[in-house]
């Protein structure tokens, strides 16, 4: 039975009564199989699983439609029940930001300005601020985040390390449709034709990941993206450093398909070091 709490007081009471280790999975709702996988991982590693559902206004830009973001609480609750979640914290914006727009936020540093941060100014300050607050409110031992939002995951790890927040951040590999499309709450906006176009992203990443030399990785990926409205295609270190050395690196892509913006990434194994400025098509 999944309990639902909406205020800080209710959360504090439920958290104090939680037995053993606690894992949190933070979401903005509109849960899909990718979230179910995070919840299942959390269930494997902790005695008490807490999910948060909060559409965080702070991480939406002025031109991004916060009102249009899907809100599907009843279905989300049913998924949490099915995944044996102990507690859902689903606050309103007034509960999370009782004094309105916070004056002090978490600055993501230089990594917050590139890739997604270059296209969505202020986005990662909004993400890190709410994740920091939710970590302090829920006090978990472990927190699970999807690799689909790889830059977000990397920045959350950096925040927890740099601010000594004392929680283990666990990254979980992206869940994909059988044809390769990464699961995303935004896929519901794609028409059938757009969905077919969107497959180019995962195809490009797979083509790139099959190569071992940076220029070849980028060329193979770029070839699959012909005709797609690409925001960026970038090869970076596994920690998103600008110059991946030999070993594990990350290939990332963002593109617009119709009015929907999609992101995806895959690990790549490089044989040689080389410079790799992000490329755009
Ligand atoms: O990945 C998301 O759904 C959100 O960015 C998060 C981590 C729940 C913060 O609002």
Res. 279 pLDDT band, cuts 50 70 90: very low
pLDDT digits (tens, 9 = 90+) for 98-142: 999 999 999 999 999 999 999 999 999 999 999 999 999 999 999
- Percent of the chain whose predicted confidence (pLDDT) is above 90: 94
**Which of 30, 56, 151, 174 has most ligand 1 atoms within 8 Å of CB, for mutation?**
56
Query: How remote is the CA of residue 171 from the centroid of ligand 1, in Å?
Result: 13
Residues 109 and 210 in one domain: no
Q: Which CATH number goes with the domain that contains 18?
A: 3.40.50.620
Res. 280 pLDDT band, cuts 50 70 90: very low
User: Does 204 score more than 80 pLDDT?
Assistant: yes
Dihedrals phi, psi of 276, to nearest 5 degrees: -150, 80
Here the contacts of 105-113 (C-beta below 8 Å, separation 24 or greater) are 105/58, 105/129, 106/132, 106/159, 106/163, 108/155, 108/158, 108/159, 109/158, 111/151, 111/154, 111/155, 111/158, 111/240, 112/155
- Calculate the alpha carbon distances from 79 to 9, 19, 33, 37 in Å: 25, 22, 9, 11
> Where does a domain end: 145, 172, 199?
172
Q: Which CATH number goes with the domain that contains 265?
A: 3.30.1300.10
The reported pLDDT for the residue numbered 43 is 98
| Residue 180 lies inside a defined structural domain of this protein | no
Res. 245 pLDDT band, cuts 50 70 90: confident
Residues 221 and 145 in one domain: no
Residues 197 and 162 in one domain: no
Range of the domain at 15: 3-172
Residues 57 and 113 in one domain: yes
Residues 46 and 92 in one domain: yes
Overall number of domains in the chain: 2
| Residue 252 lies inside a defined structural domain of this protein | yes
The reported pLDDT for the residue numbered 249 is 98
| Residue 281 lies inside a defined structural domain of this protein | no
């Amino acid at each position: 039975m999944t309990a639902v709490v909406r205020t800080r007081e209710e959360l504090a009471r439920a958290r104090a009564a939680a037995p053993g280790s606690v894992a949190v999975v933070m979401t903005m709702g509109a849960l899909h199989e990718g979230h179910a996988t995070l919840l299942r991982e959390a269930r494997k590693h902790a005695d008490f699983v807490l999910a948060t559902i909060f559409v965080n206004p702070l991480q939406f830009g002025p031109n991004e439609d916060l009102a249009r973001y899907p809100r599907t609480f009843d279905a989300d609750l049913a998924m949490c029940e099915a995944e044996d979640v102990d507690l859902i914290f689903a606050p309103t914006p007034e509960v999370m930001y009782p004094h309105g727009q916070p004056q002090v936020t978490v600055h993501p540093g230089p990594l917050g300005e590139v890739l997604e941060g270059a296209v969505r100014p202020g986005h990662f300050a909004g993400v890190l601020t709410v994740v920091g607050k939710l970590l302090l409110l829920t006090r978990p031992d472990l927190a699970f985040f999807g690799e689909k939002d790889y830059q977000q995951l990397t920045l959350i790890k950096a925040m927890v390390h740099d601010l000594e927040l004392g929680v283990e951040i666990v990254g979980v590999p992206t869940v994909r449709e059988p044809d390769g499309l990464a699961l995303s709450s935004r896929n519901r906006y794609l028409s059938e034709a757009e969905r077919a176009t969107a497959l180019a992203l995962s195809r490009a990443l797979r083509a790139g990941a099959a190569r071992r030399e940076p220029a070849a990785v980028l060329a193979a990926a770029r070839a699959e993206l012909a005709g797609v409205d690409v925001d960026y295609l970038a090869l970076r270190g596994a920690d998103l450093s600008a110059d991946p050395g030999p070993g594990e690196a990350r290939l990332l892509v963002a593109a617009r398909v119709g009015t929907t913006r999609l992101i995806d990434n895959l690990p790549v194994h490089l044989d040689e070091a080389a410079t790799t400025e992000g490329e755009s098509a």
